[in-house]
Amino acid sequence: MKIISHSYINPKGAFLNGQNVLIATEENYLKSYFSELEIDYSKFYKMDLLSKAAFLGDYLLHNSYKDLLNVENELQFVFANASSSKETDIRFIESYERKKNPSPSLFVYTLPNILTGELAIKHKWFGENIFYILTKFDSDFFNDQIAMSFLRGNEYCLCGWVEMTGSPEDECFMFLVAKSEVVNENLSNKLNEILNNYRNE
Amino acid sequence: MSELKEQLKSQIIEQLNLEDLTPADIKNDSPLFGDEGLGLDSIDALEFIVLLDSFYGIKIEDPAAAREIFHSVDSMAAFIESKK
């Protein structure tokens, strides 16, 4: 297994492979990054925080996978977070308790794995996808899930820890892993090292 | 009519939870649905039906007509005016 590339997004900045590539110019940092990247994708504005963050994290990675072979069928999404879709869940509850209008456009985002659907739709990828709820980022868990994915025949895993609740601690850590005969690094340790470096930026 | 269109844009942003947008980002004649416009879909059409009912007391009797009515801010405003 080999990490091809990784991205990280939080209120302080957007990073690609350890390098800071964007700094927020407004309080709404996801909108700021979207504007700075000059992306033409109007559906972004409809998304919840989870999908927006994953969309941007994926966008930063796109140069890493654009030339990979058969990625549309042999790539699996492995995502996780701790708070599921809590931020949208609360807004949806408010929509019917306070506004007396259960909002369909909020309801569709009351599942965290919608973000994998957004990415699959954008790229027209047809591989497997899964979203776990964990108490915290667990590199061993990701290591095991990726290893099992490769045993099932997948060639790549696009993974993410996307914890977005509207808090200053929000973060979206994404990494692309390829099946590789050369095992030159302990994936679990490497992931912890990369994430800790991002968190300390 | 222009006042109605500006009001509609604000209501669309609120109803569809498009907080990242401002009324100025929505053009009167741009398609609201599909990739060329705001990227809205059938779920959002439900929101528009609720919007027309709750803000203007207008019910869409013919679902087939909704596609034309919800095409743009211009077409929605014209429909609301026609019901006054």
- What was the ipTM of the complex prediction? 0.84
**pLDDT digits over B7-34, tens only?**
999 999 998 989 899 999 999 999 999 8
| Domains observed in chain A | 2-84+112-199 (3.40.47.10)
Inter-chain touch B16–A43, beta carbons under 8 Å: no
- Written as six digits, the tokens of A129 are 């996808």
| B73 CB within 8 Å of a chain A CB | no
| Domains observed in chain B | 2-82 (1.10.1200.10)
**pLDDT digits over A85-134, tens only?**
999 999 999 999 988 888 899 999 999 999 999 999 999 999 999 999 99
Q: Which of A28, A43, A105 sits opposite B47 (nearest CB)?
A: A105
- Written as six digits, the tokens of B23 are 């009324």
Q: Residue A18: CB partners within 8 Å, gap ≥ 6?
A: A6, A194, A197, A198
* Burial grade of A41 (CB within 10 A; 0-12, 13-18, 19 or more): middle
pTM for the model: 0.92
Q: Which amino acid, residue A182?
A: V
- Identify whether the C-beta of residue A157 lies closer than 8 Å to the C-beta of residue A149: yes
Q: Which of B21, B43, B54 sits opposite A104 (nearest CB)?
A: B43
> What is the per-residue pLDDT for B41?
86
Instruction: Choose, out of A40, A103, A108, A121, the residue to mutate when testing the contact with B (most B CBs < 10 Å).
Output: A103
Instruction: Choose, out of B12, B15, B17, the residue to mutate when testing the contact with A (most A CBs < 10 Å).
Output: B17
Inter-chain touch A31–B39, beta carbons under 8 Å: no
Q: Residue A32: CB partners within 8 Å, gap ≥ 6?
A: A22, A24, A25, A26
The SS3 of residue A30 is: helix
**pLDDT digits over A143-173, tens only?**
999 999 999 999 999 999 999 999 999 999 9
Taken in order A149, A133, A86, A106, is the CA torsion positive or negative? positive
Q: Which of B19, B37, B46 sits opposite A104 (nearest CB)?
A: B46
Helix (H) or strand (E) holding A75: strand A75-81
For residue A20, list its beta bridge partners: A15
- Written as six digits, the tokens of A90 are 């609360």
